[in-house]
Every structure is written in C-alpha cells, then in structure tokens.
Structure 1
Amino acid sequence: MRALLVVNPAATTTSARTRDVLIHALASEMKLEAVTTEYRGHARDLGRQAAESKDIELVVALGGDGTVNEVVNGLLHAGPDLDRLPGLAVVPGGSTNVFARALGLQNHPVEATGQLLDALREGRQRTVGLGLAAGTPGTEDEAVPSRWFTFSAGLGFDAGVVGRVEQQRERGKRSTHALYVRQVVRQFLGEPDRRHGTITLERPGEDPVTDLVVSIVSNTSPWSFLGNRPLYPTPQASFDTGLDVLGLKKLSTPAVARYGGQLLASTPERGPRGKNAVTLHDLTDFTLHSKVPLPLQMDGDHLGLRTSVTFTGVRRALRVIV
C-alpha cells in the first residue's frame, strides 16, 4: 500500500521526536511518503494531490481537527467517490481531536497509531457521512465557496468563541480548555443579541425556526470535549445519519446557567432541553439566515462573517480506517 502522511509540525501534543517515531512505525507497514505542512491550506493542497493521484491508496493526517478538515476538503474537492478516492486515517495531534475521538481512536498519538496499524492489518474501515456548507444562492454570500466539515459547524455564538480563541492564539496563547472557557464568558458578555436572536433556520416543507441566538450544527456526537468530558448538545447525531442542530432562542444569564449546566451534564441519551431550546435530527438540507452578519465556524476554524449559509448532510462521503 502506498500512503501519504500529512504532518502538521505545529500540532500541539506532539514533539519532533514523537513524530519521527510515528513516521517510522507507519513506514514499517506501508510505502510511506511523509510531507510536513508549510502554510495554511497546505494540507488541503496535499489532499487534493492525493485524490488526483492514481496510486495513493491512503492519506494519514497527523495533526488536530484543522489539519483533518483541510485534508478532507482536498480529498473531496471534486466530490465524494468511495471507489476512486484514497481512504483517510487520523493520528490525533491537536488539543481536542474531536473527529478522531468520535471515531473511537485513543487521544494519545502513539496509542492511536497502534490502533491504526491494527486496523490496516485486519482490514478494518468504515464509511462516514460529512457536512457540506455553502453560500446560499440569491444572497450576498452565494459566491462563498462550499466547504466540508467532519464533526461540527456553527453560525453565531459558538463561532464567535472560536474567533476569540484564534485571536488569542495569534498573540501567542496556548490552545487550552481554560482558554476556551474564558472566551465563552467574554463572548457572552459581549453578545449584543443574546435576548432576541437574529438567526432563522429554514428547511423544505417545514415552518421556519426563528429568533435563534445559538445554532450548533453537528455531524456526530459528542460535539466536543472539555478536557476528558464529552459534551452532547445533540446526542442523536451520528456519522451514519444527516446533520443535527441545537438552537437556543435566549442567552440570558439564567438561560446560560441552565443550558450550560445541562451541557456539562449531558449524556449520549440526554442533551440540553427547555422551552427556548430546539433540537432537530437527521437533516439533509437546511439554511441558516441572519438579519446581521455573524461569525461562521467549521471544525473549530473561524471563517469570517456570513448572513446566509446552506447546509447539506452527505451520507457515505468518505472511507476511514478505524
């Protein structure tokens, strides 16, 4: 088997020595070409080259969720094709690694590499569905390119938190869970529309859901982790179904305390609930519109401000070695 290993040298939980050990371990089982990313978007370019190659059978992403997202967008630049495209494997190297952990991989890169090698020897793989987001036709965002996401997207509050975290990282702060918690508090205090949301969710054949402040789109469950604690805003979300949405219509201090507590106590069977909470399961096509431009995030990457985004849940989009 010929494989391409895409290595993010800035991965927060791996050292150069650890990466060398992982590369040697993987090279012992396959014909491996390892490439270190050199710029933002490089992993996407490498994924696209692998998709267009005629002899690469597997792409291994060594890094965090951002690296995985770039590789996936490169692999699927021309759309899903399970028979033609290389498979994907992930060695987690980021601070949270939601996609890898949702697949059942260990959060330690060495242990995850051992799982990957066992899966290759035993021929274990699965297909996963993904989310696709694009600018809505007929709006000012229609020219925005489409983009795939593996586990989560959001328009509004959660994307604002992601943007604040990225600003702190650009200033030299480490990506820690404490940093995220601080930015959640700051986003809440600075949220101008937390009592009357500006987001409307529209889907074919159904009444619109209006006045949302929070709109979390999930492709799997858990949605994220706080340390080792999994968070389940949409417990039914799955790689085998369409997309799930949690919408909140109010972010007053009592509402934040209620829904924040429910999220921390959430389980695979029970997520946040209440009169201002809306949960939708297994959606194939829907659009989020906002009266004002709001931040958009996908897989923890801040993508700027948008007023309208159309989402599609695509089943069986990619082969993953697990």
Structure 2
Amino acid sequence: MRALLVVNPAATTTSARTRDVLAHALASDLELEVAQTRYRGHARDLARQAAEGGKTELVVALGGDGTVNEVVNGLLTHGPDPDSHPRLAVVPGGSTNVFARALGLPNDAVEATGALLDALRDGSERTIGLGLAAGTPGSEDEGAPSRWFTFCAGFGFDAGVVGRVEQQRERGKRSTHALYVRQVVRQFMGEANRREGSITLERPGATEGSTEVVEGLAMSIICNTAPWTYLGNRPVYPSPRASFDAALDLFALSKLSAPAVTRYATQLLASTPQRGPHGKHAVSLHDLTDFTLHSQAPLPFQMDGDHLGLRTSVTFTGVRRALRVIV
C-alpha cells in the first residue's frame, strides 16, 4: 500500500528519534513517503496533493489534533467521497490527542503505531462523520472559507480560552492543564456576556419551511464525538450522546454567572458517557444536521482546538460517512 506520513516536527510528546523509529516501523509494511510540515497549513497542502495525485491510498498524520485537522481538510478539499479519497490514519503526538483517543487509539505514539500496523494487516477501518463550518450567507462572514472539524468547534467562551492559550504558547509557555485553567479564569473575568448571552441558534423547525430559534446563549460547544476533551486522563462529556456515527451535538449555556459556572463546571468534571451537564441554563441538542449560530457582536471561534479569530455568524453541517479511517 502506498502511503504518505505527514510529520509535525513540533509535536509536543514525540522526539525526533521516536518519530524516526515510528516511520521505520511503518515503512516495514507500507510503501512509505515521509514529509515534515514546515509552516501552518502545510499538512493540509500535503494531504491535498496526495488526494489529487490519485496514487496514495493512505495518509498517516503524526502529530496533535491541529495536524490531524489540517490533513482532514486537505483530504476533503473537493468534498467527501470515502470511496475515492485516501484513507486516514492517526499516530498521536500532541498534548491532548482528542480525536485519536475518541477513535479508541492508545495515547502513546509507539503503542498507537503498533495498533495501526495491526489494523492494516487485519483490514480494519471505519467510515466516520465529520462537522463542516462555513460563513453564513448574507452575513459579514459569508466569505469565510468552509472548514471541516473532527471532534469539536466552539463559538464564544471556550474559543476565547483557546485563543488565550495560543497566545501564551506563542510566548513560549508549555501547553499544560494548569495553563488552561488560568486562561479559563481570565476569560471568565473578562467575559462581557456573562449574564445575558448574545448568541442565537437557528435550525430547521419540525414543520417544513419553519425555523426554530433559541436566543440568549452565552457560550456554545459543538461536538462531533464524545468526549469533548480530556483533563489529563479524565474525559469530559458535555454531550455524551455525540458520535462519529451521527450528526452534530450542541451544548450551550444561557448564563455565565459565578454560581452557574461553578455548578456546570462541577457537572462537567463529573460527567460520564451516560450523563452530562443539565439544568435550567443548559441547552443540549442531539444529532443536528444543519444549524446556524449568530452573535450580536463578534465572538471567538475555534475548531479542533485551533483559534480562528472572531466571527458574528457560523453555519454548521453534520456530514455522515465523510471519511474512512484505519482503526
């Protein structure tokens, strides 16, 4: 099988020696080409070229969730077609690796490589659904390019936290859970819409041509799978029913006062695959195929942990059976 290994040399949990060993192991079973990323977006370009070349059957992403997201967007440049696109495989190399772990892969790169080789020999794969976000027609973000995400997106509070963490990492800070906790506190203290949210959800209503509207949301998390993220080895489930086999789930809060945040943060930390956060300020929607989030003022936006700036409106689509993955 002809394969491309896309390596992020800045992956936080693998050394250059480890990456060389992993590449050598994969080359024992594959006709392997290795390419290292050199700039932001390079993994997307490499995957797009592999897909368009027509000879590569498998693209392996060695890196964190950001690298995986770029590879997925490269593979799906011309839209989803599982029967013709190269398959995707993942070897986790980031600090969290939500997508790989949600697929059931080991969080250790060496163990995950062994699992990948076993799956290739057994012909084990699955076709998963993905999320797609785009600028909303008629809004000032109409021209924003469409982008796929593998496990989550966020509009509002959590995206602001991601942006703050990225700023700290650009200043040389290590990506640790303590860093995230500090930025959560700072984002909360600077949040302008704590008591009255500015986000409006619109989705098709129960009758043809109708629209269901939910107003006054203060934060929103869109999940394509569960868990949403990990705190160390602890999985966090705002949307426990989210699945790669369904469309998208949405978890939102209509209030971010100190008591409300304390209550829902405690529920998040105690969440399980059977029960997520709940209460009068929580909105939980399952298996959404199409919906739009609007804001009265520009809000932070993130996808798969990558901060994408400020948006006033984003349209989301849940696409079932979008990509084949080796697992």
Answering whether residue 302 of structure 2 is matched by residue 297 of structure 1, we say yes
Mapping for residues 162-173 of structure 1, pairs under 5 Å: 162-173=162-173
Matching residue within 243, 246, 254 for 1:241: 246
Mapping for residues 211-250 of structure 1, pairs under 5 Å: 211-250=216-255
Answering whether residue 236 of structure 2 is matched by residue 259 of structure 1, we say no
Letter of the 1:78 partner, please give it.
H
Letter of the 1:161 partner, please give it.
V
Q: Which residue of 2 aligns with 1:49?
A: 49
Letter of the 2:227 partner, please give it.
P
* Mapped partners of 1:102, 1:288: distance in 2: 26
Alignment RMSD (CA, Å): 0.5
* Mapped partners of 1:43, 1:135: distance in 2: 23
Mapping for residues 124-139 of structure 1, pairs under 5 Å: 124-139=124-139
Structure 1 residues 188-247: Cα deviation after superposition (integer angstroms, max 9, x where no partner): 111011110000000011431110111000000000000000000000000000000001
1:40, distance to aligned residue in structure 2 (A):
0.4
Q: Which residue of 2 aligns with 1:23?
A: 23
1:252, distance to aligned residue in structure 2 (A):
0.5
Letter of the 2:223 partner, please give it.
S
Matching residue within 215, 220, 232 for 1:210: 215
* Mapped partners of 2:268, 2:168: distance in 1: 25
* Mapped partners of 1:54, 1:68: distance in 2: 20
Q: Which residue of 2 aligns with 1:201?
A: 201
Answering whether residue 147 of structure 2 is matched by residue 142 of structure 1, we say no
Structure 1 residues 32-86: Cα deviation after superposition (integer angstroms, max 9, x where no partner): 0000000000000001001101210000000000000000000000001111100
* Mapped partners of 2:234, 2:185: distance in 1: 19
* Mapped partners of 1:151, 1:50: distance in 2: 23
* Mapped partners of 1:50, 1:209: distance in 2: 42
Secondary structure, in 3 states, of the residue corresponding to 2:204? coil
* Mapped partners of 1:166, 1:123: distance in 2: 38
* Mapped partners of 1:53, 1:68: distance in 2: 20
Answering whether residue 4 of structure 2 is matched by residue 4 of structure 1, we say yes
User: How many residues matched?
Assistant: 322
**Segments ≥4 residues shifted beyond 2 Å:** none
1:176, distance to aligned residue in structure 2 (A):
1.1
* Mapped partners of 1:233, 1:51: distance in 2: 34
* Mapped partners of 2:233, 2:214: distance in 1: 33
* Mapped partners of 1:154, 1:69: distance in 2: 15
TM-score, L = length of structure 2? 0.98
Secondary structure, in 3 states, of the residue corresponding to 1:111? helix
1:299, distance to aligned residue in structure 2 (A):
0.1
Structure 1 residues 86-132: Cα deviation after superposition (integer angstroms, max 9, x where no partner): 00000000000000000000000000000000000000000000000
* Mapped partners of 1:161, 1:52: distance in 2: 36
Matching residue within 299, 306, 321 for 1:316: 321
Q: Which residue of 2 aligns with 1:68?
A: 68
* Mapped partners of 2:259, 2:234: distance in 1: 23
Q: Which stretches in structure 2 are left out of the alignment for 5+ residues?
A: 206-210
Letter of the 1:221 partner, please give it.
A
Structure 1 residues 258-315: Cα deviation after superposition (integer angstroms, max 9, x where no partner): 0000000000000000000000000000000000000100000000000000000000
TM-score, L = length of structure 1? 0.99
Structure 1 residues 117-170: Cα deviation after superposition (integer angstroms, max 9, x where no partner): 000000000000000000000011000000000000010000000000000000
Secondary structure, in 3 states, of the residue corresponding to 2:301? strand
Secondary structure, in 3 states, of the residue corresponding to 2:19? helix
Q: Which residue of 2 aligns with 1:288?
A: 293
Secondary structure, in 3 states, of the residue corresponding to 1:241? coil
Mapping for residues 100-111 of structure 1, pairs under 5 Å: 100-111=100-111
Secondary structure, in 3 states, of the residue corresponding to 1:280? strand
Secondary structure, in 3 states, of the residue corresponding to 1:179? helix
1:177, distance to aligned residue in structure 2 (A):
1.2
Letter of the 1:143 partner, please give it.
G
Q: Which residue of 2 aligns with 1:120?
A: 120
Q: Which residue of 2 aligns with 1:188?
A: 188
